[in-house]
Amino acid sequence: MGDILSGGGDRPGLSERWDALPRRGRQLLVALVGCALLAGAAVSVLPAGPGKSRPAHTARHKVPYPVHSTRIGFVRILDVDARNRSFRIELRAVTKDPVLVRRISQEYQALTMKLDPAQAVMVRPERAEPVWVRARVTSCRDLPVRARLPFLDITLRNARASQDLSFILGDRYARALDRVFRTVCGPSSRR
Amino acid sequence: MRHRSLLILTATVTVGALSLSACGSRDGKSGGDSGEKTTVVIGVDAPLTGDLSALGQGIKNSSDLAVKTANKNDEVKGVTFKLESLDDQAQAGTGQQNATKLVGNDQVVGVVGPLNSHVGQSMQKVFGNAHLVQVSPANTAPELSQGPNWQKGQKKRLFDTYFRTSTTDAVQGPYAAQYLYNKRKLKKAYIIDDKKTYGAGLAGTFTDEFKKLGGKVVGTDHINPDDRDFSAVGTKVAKSKADFVYYGGEYPAGAPLSAQITKAGSKALVVGGDALYSEEYIKLGKKNVEGDLATSVGAPLETLDTAKTFMKDYKAAGYKLPYEAYGGYSYDSTWAIIQAVKAVVEKNDGKLPDTIDDTRKQITEAMQDVRFEGVTGDVSFDKYGDTTNKQLSVYEVKDGKHKPVKTGTFQEG
């Protein structure tokens, strides 16, 4: 059985190309390949730097769910209209990723709420965005007063998902709401 | 030909190694990180045996995973972390003994735990006197961080060594009340608690808000958490026609309580806090607990990208028991201690202070400024040592599993 050529062709092989290189060219190529190999090894072996030292985290960026990227805080209640039992609430939204505030309500039987104006509010990461809500007391009977942690149900949508979330706005909101209930319904609304 | 290839390969590796200086920067101190390492211990205190061991083992395993991750990644140069876990059996006295033991070990630089608020209370002073930092992944009683008069608006931090990654019952109870009264339209409650710090406190914050909303409390009871026969209470609940039972307590008693209320003919749901949010609750109560609700700290881990690797690594590590309700919080509590150690090492030119007292003091101080993106979201602490990440969720038992139905964020304006 004679020798069998298992590869090749008419182009020069690797060793022939190597032989054809001048000495300085060979040195440069060896240094470059060495650098590339070491850099690759370093990336795969070395631990993350201080700023990236997160526990068990993935490096890739994925837009988080709205619950993890958006914060909504209470600013003030204004434009209280005792005759119509209505008022406005100013909120402030901040987000890490663009998010749409689509709907706001508070599940009190005697209270209606809607965005004012009645269209979704786009919040971008660069700055805090005011969100206005128009609220109206529909009945002074059974209106909860002195509740400690009323919350708003807010629908948020971003590139990842749409979520119905509760935002518990804290003591300042609770007290402001209490005051406005007493204003529009009078002291007799007290439980 | 074969020799030539070998020569090329050898030359490539050799020159590559020698050309390090051309690839990156070095300060000439070759082998600077080859010095000996200091081993420090992170203590874990949790109920590792007994009725609550499912939660306790989840805490221990998750802390273990954090320590292994830190060591593997060489998170703190020159420091190797070791875990020492102690079983408190959910008993305040045992927890206090464990705290004394941990303080006495001069390698311990921080402690994760405990699970139970009443156990946490018994440990606080011991750690406070020794300046040893403690981060609980599960204590929810507000007084641990805000003092006994927090409800009167007189918040006062008693121990600067105490921190926690879980939300408190100051939010959990009222949130449940608002959800049940307004969203579920459930107006008649029967309140039961187990008389412990956690259970009685949680039932108290719930009841207070529920009444203010206009809810009616149609009956109250206290139970012994070691009992398993609640048939008499079940009969009283059935007669009361309550829409639901709010139970301030833990799953070992909560599950049979719920089952026996159902068997007594009541259609009342049983609702509770984070100590009912356990797979064990469903295992113990079986179909009788379908529809029951529990609030628990944080958002569901499944919605957190930061938690996915944790869940994967936990599974890969082969722990026999699940990470349970506080796994993510335990990982983050442990990681917070690791980050505080790191800050102290960096502040002291790459090593820990010479004495353990000084080390512990500096770690406690550093903890106040720790901030990182953890398994459960952004981790940092407010002036009381409470987590700034105040999220919580409502879960419903559906088809034998806890399914999230609502998530809320507490955001003080």
pLDDT digits 0-9 by tens, B349-406: 999 999 999 999 999 999 999 999 999 988 999 999 999 988 999 999 999 999 999 9
Other Cβ atoms closer than 10 A to A60: 6
Domain membership flag for residue B143: yes
- pLDDT tier for residue A4 given thresholds of 50, 70 and 90: very low
pTM: 0.78
First to last CA, chain B: 76
* Alpha carbon distance A45, B113 (integer Å): 33
Q: Which residues of A touch B340 (CB under 8 A)?
A: none
Contact of B351 with B345, CB cutoff 8 Å: yes
Whether B158 and B236 map to the same domain: the answer is no
Q: How many domains does chain B have?
A: 2
Q: What is the DSSP letter of B348?
A: T
Whether B158 and B174 map to the same domain: the answer is no
Tokens of B133: 């930092």
Find, among B288, B106, B261, B101, the residue nearest to B192 by Cα: B261
The verdict on whether omega for the bond into residue B252 sits within 30 degrees of 0, i.e. cis, is: no
pLDDT of residue B6: 39
Tokens of A178: 């209490």
Contact A56 B375 (CB under 8 A): yes
φ and ψ of B45, to 5 deg: -125, 125
Whether B146 and B226 map to the same domain: the answer is no
Of B11, B209, B409, which is closest to A165 when you measure between CB atoms?
A: B409
Q: Write the pLDDT tens digit of every residue in A117-161.
A: 999 999 999 899 999 999 999 999 878 888 999 999 999 999 999
Write the CATH number for B91: 3.40.50.2300
Tokens of B244: 């639901």
Find, among B55, B81, B76, the residue nearest to B66 by Cα: B81
For residue B261, the enclosing domain spans: 170-297+393-409
The answer for residues whose C-beta is within 8 angstroms of residue B305's C-beta and 6 or more apart is A58, A62, A64
* Alpha carbon distance A42, A52 (integer Å): 16
Whether B188 and B211 map to the same domain: the answer is yes
Domain membership flag for residue B232: yes
How many contacts does A have with B, using Cβ atoms within 8 A? Answer: 164
State how far residue A158 is from chain B, nearest Cα, in angstroms.
Answer: 14
Fold of A66-189: Immunoglobulin-like (2.60.40)
Give the Å distances, CA to CA, from B250 to A39, A109, B43, B57, B196: 53, 32, 24, 16, 10
Whether B198 and B347 map to the same domain: the answer is no
Q: Which residues of A touch B409 (CB under 8 A)?
A: 67, 71, 165-168
Of A42, A71, A144, which is closest to B213 when you measure between CB atoms?
A: A144
pLDDT of residue A189: 54
Contact A56 B303 (CB under 8 A): no
β-sheet with B108-112: strand ranges across: B79-87, B38-46, B108-112, B133-136, B162-164
Whether B110 and B137 map to the same domain: the answer is yes
φ and ψ of B164, to 5 deg: -150, 150
DSSP bridge pairs for B218 = none
Q: Write the pLDDT tens digit of every residue in A9-21.
A: 334 444 445 455 5
Whether B180 and B206 map to the same domain: the answer is yes
Find, among B141, B213, B184, B376, the residue nearest to B271 by Cα: B184
pLDDT of residue B395: 97
Q: Which residues of A touch B313 (CB under 8 A)?
A: 56
* Alpha carbon distance B226, B50 (integer Å): 11
Whether B139 and B160 map to the same domain: the answer is yes
DSSP string, B62-92: HHHHHHHHHHHTT-STTEEEEEEEEE-TT-H
Tokens of A81: 């209209």
Tokens of A30: 């060896």
Whether B284 and B251 map to the same domain: the answer is yes
Burial of A187 (0-12, 13-18, 19+ CB in 10 A): exposed
Contact B335 A148 (CB under 8 A): no
Evaluate if residue A76 carries a pLDDT over 60.
Answer: yes
The average pLDDT across A70-90 equals 96
Of B11, B175, B375, which is closest to A168 when you measure between CB atoms?
A: B175
Find, among B387, B366, B369, the residue nearest to B378 by Cα: B387
* Alpha carbon distance A158, A98 (integer Å): 6
Contact A31 B65 (CB under 8 A): no
Tokens of B155: 């918040």
Contact of A30 with A18, CB cutoff 8 Å: no
Domain membership flag for residue B341: yes
Instruction: Give the helix ranges, DSSP H, for A46-170.
Output: 66-69
* Alpha carbon distance B111, B64 (integer Å): 12
Whether B224 and B351 map to the same domain: the answer is no
Contact B182 A107 (CB under 8 A): yes
Q: Which residues of B touch A30 (CB under 8 A)?
A: 11-12, 15-16
Whether B257 and B353 map to the same domain: the answer is no
pLDDT of residue B303: 87
| Residues of chain B where predicted confidence (pLDDT) is lower than 70 | 1-35, 413
* Alpha carbon distance B199, B215 (integer Å): 20
Contact A148 B174 (CB under 8 A): yes
Q: What is the ipTM, given to two decimal places? A: 0.79
Q: Which residues in chain A are classed under CATH 2.60.40? A: 66-189
pLDDT of residue B301: 84
CB contact A18 to B (< 8 Å): yes
Element containing residue A142 per DSSP (H, E):
none
* Alpha carbon distance B10, B6 (integer Å): 6
Contact B1 A37 (CB under 8 A): no
Domain membership flag for residue B17: no
Whether B117 and B183 map to the same domain: the answer is no
The average pLDDT across A83-90 equals 97
Q: Amino acid letter at B340? A: A
CB contact A38 to B (< 8 Å): yes
* Alpha carbon distance B305, B310 (integer Å): 9
